[in-house]
Structure 1
Amino acid sequence: MLHTTTKPPLTIRLCQPRGFCAGVDRAIQIVVLALKKYGAPVYVRHEIVHNRYVVEGLQSLGAVFIEELSEIPAEHRQSPVVFSAHGVPKSVPADAQARNLFYLDATCPLVSKVHKQAMRHQRLGRHVLLIGHAGHPEVIGTMGQLPDGAVTLIETEADAAKLAPADPEALGFVTQTTLSVEDTAGIIRALQDRFPALHAPAAESICYATTNRQEAVKETAAGADLYLIVGAPNSSNSRRLVEVAERAGATMSLLVQRASEIPWNDIAGISTLGLSAGASAPEIIVDEIIDAFRQRFDVTIDLAITATETEDFPVMRVLRDVELTKADMAFVNGAA
């Protein structure tokens, strides 16, 4: 007698937008274009974006990831070196010039905007308050735009409460681009309550992609038995999405890098799954995770579209003469 096993039903609330943002897309494109134009090796200082799948894919094409410029062998001093999308302190391009290195700066234009806002505050005589997470490459890069002592890092409302500036009337703030919108708003309110003369940046610091992804998760979290965020543990924007899902009503929220990290034994009884991806997570992993659920559940996809993103950041002029194949573009866009 033939026995058939019926798969339990599962609705996947799939967020859109999700995954790669324009800044990540541009950074990956810069490395791929540099490899095509100049050949391997192309050195990349720090992970170009916080995702091992992307890093390993670029390594397979000939990219070499380093943490310091001193790691570049003398015989490869003519090879390009790419600075990551997170931005670097001013000391890094200065070091590259001193070593006669050819560098390509893949800093996200929205991170560069924060750098300019911080420098504008200082130019106007203000001490800069940077709201962000200590040790994150973007924070290190932003603080490194100004002299030592010109920037104070504020991580929490408790930090805001104990701040004792030399001149409370001459303060300006900027934020890391990948923070929780709600947490950041609370810290800004705490600072403004204490320092009414606090100057905001001329434009919003938290980037459009961070805001859009958080809003999409917020709108789809209520009633979800499990919310999965595809992203790396060192990805700030991905970790914030996990927090947003939990606050917005998901029973459980997890950060995973691949389908192999999903705790299948612990989630057997779920009927509604929320699914999104951080700004540095490729779409191919989202597809991998959906396929893994299809093997175990009778899946219905409920696409939750909360915003349409049309931003496109062009690469630097020196790389614009290089053409990408369809396979190149699939890799750049996270589809391969």
Structure 2
Amino acid sequence: MIPPATRPPLRLLLAAPRGFCAGVDRAVRIVEEALARYGAPVYVRHEIVHNRHVVDGLRARGAVFVEELSEIPDDGRPVIFSAHGVAKSVVSEALSRRLVTLDATCPLVTKVHREVERQHARGRHLLLIGHAGHPEVLGTMGQLPEGAVTLVQDVAEAEAVQPPAGAALAWSSQTTLSVDDTAGIVAVLARRFPDIAGPAKEDICYATSNRQAAVKALVARGAERVIVVGAQNSSNSRRLAEVAERAGAAGALLVEQPESLDAGGFAGCAAIGLTAGASAPESLVQAVIDRLRRRFDLAVEEVRVAEETIAFRLPPGLAPRTARDTLAAD
């Protein structure tokens, strides 16, 4: 640790909004409340959100994470579907096994599921903008019969895609994509297929858009480099790093664990930016700030581009108990 009197000055521009979104907060609360109501173990299909710190914390409290329902014994314990959503085949499998299920799918992902169902019911073939293999994409594609969806990952694929001849078309997107990249892909699809239908409301969620706008504001305010607190498998976190570099930052660093950050790497910078993906808790942001303080005379400035007041309700039966509920039970 450098003695306080000799630490070089550094402006830290702190993005706002950052970190947990309403969908992630709801998903984590569902697991916590399920553990409180049912006790351990509670099974969770896939990581509830893409953040190792969050997952490890829930695992320590009794959550058991699996990739497939086949890994879950028929012991009557609850199983939770992750915030990314699941295919209809997964729901059907759970019903056939009479599993007790709790759905932590983000309501904004559910909105996309219902939208693609409506477009399919109108006889349209769906072009889904997203990343192959991402659980949200797998869940969205799994809302429709096989062959009803074609995945488009980038502008090159938008230029080359060949949907079924004569089919009416609609497009939808993963909720955690780059706003700018998605706009470019949609422009290509609209040029090639002028009659293509789009969603009634934008599929990219408010939290993704706000966090990307905040990162652009950090760079505009002078951040030479940007730290993104988030996991490597977190789509929205990776997009934040890309947005920072495209906005003009000399570099963007995706940090999953604060202790892995080499603060000395920012020597010579006058100002850097800090944000967090939608699945990264604020405690990790503060741990990064603490780590930087050991190396620099830090001046923290918040850069806010939006206020977020959205909150999602827990599923029926999982809402936290009130004092009145407790008295009634007694």
Report the Cα offset of residue 97 of structure 1: 1.0
What letter corresponds to residue 189 of structure 1 in structure 2? Answer: A
Paired position in structure 2 for 1:333: none
Alpha carbons of structure 1 residues 5 and 151: separation in structure 2 relative to 1, 3 Å: same
Match of 1:201 in 2: 199
Q: 1:4 offset after TM fit, Å?
A: 7.5
Alpha-carbon deviations, 1:241-262, whole Å to 9, x = none?
0000001111111100122222
CA positional deviation for 1:323 = 5.7
My pick for the range that moved more, 217-226 or 10-19, is: 217-226
2:306 — aligned with what?
307
Give, in whole Å, the separation in 2 of the partners of 1:4 and 1:196: 62
Please show how residues 1-336 of structure 1 align to structure 2 within 5 Å: 5-74=5-74, 77-167=75-165, 170-222=168-220, 223-322=222-321
Structure 2 segments unaligned to the other structure (5+ residues): 324-330
Structure-1-length-normalised TM-score: 0.93
Checking the alignment, whether the CA contact within 8 Å between 2:263 and 2:292 is kept in structure 1 is: no
Deviation at 1:92, TM superposition (A): 0.7
When the two chains are superposed, the root-mean-square deviation of aligned CA atoms in Å is 1.4
1:296 aligned counterpart, secondary structure: coil
For each residue in 1:281-306, what CA deviation from the matched residue of structure 2 results, as whole angstroms up to 9, or x when unmatched? 00000000000011110011111011
Q: Distance in 1 between matches of 2:322 and 2:226?
A: 39
SS at 2:253 equivalent: strand
The alpha carbon displacement at 1:5 in A equals 4.3
Q: Distance in 2 between matches of 1:168 and 1:287?
A: 54
Counterpart amino acid of residue 99 in structure 2: L
SS of structure 2 residue aligned to 1:319? coil
Q: Within 1, Cα distance between the matches of 2:84 and 2:131? A: 13
**Partner Cα distance (1:62, 1:323) in 2:** 24
1:202, CA displacement in angstroms? 1.3
Q: Deviations over 1:209-260 (max 9, x none)?
A: 0000000001111432220000000000000000000011111111001222
TM-aligned CA deviation for residue 321 of structure 1: 4.8
Can you give the 5+ residue segments of structure 1 that lack an aligned partner in the other structure?
A: 325-336
Identity across matched positions, percent: 57
Q: Take 1:11 and 1:321, find their aligned partners in 2: how far apart are those partners?
A: 41
Distance 1:168-1:218 versus aligned 2 partners, 3 A rule: farther
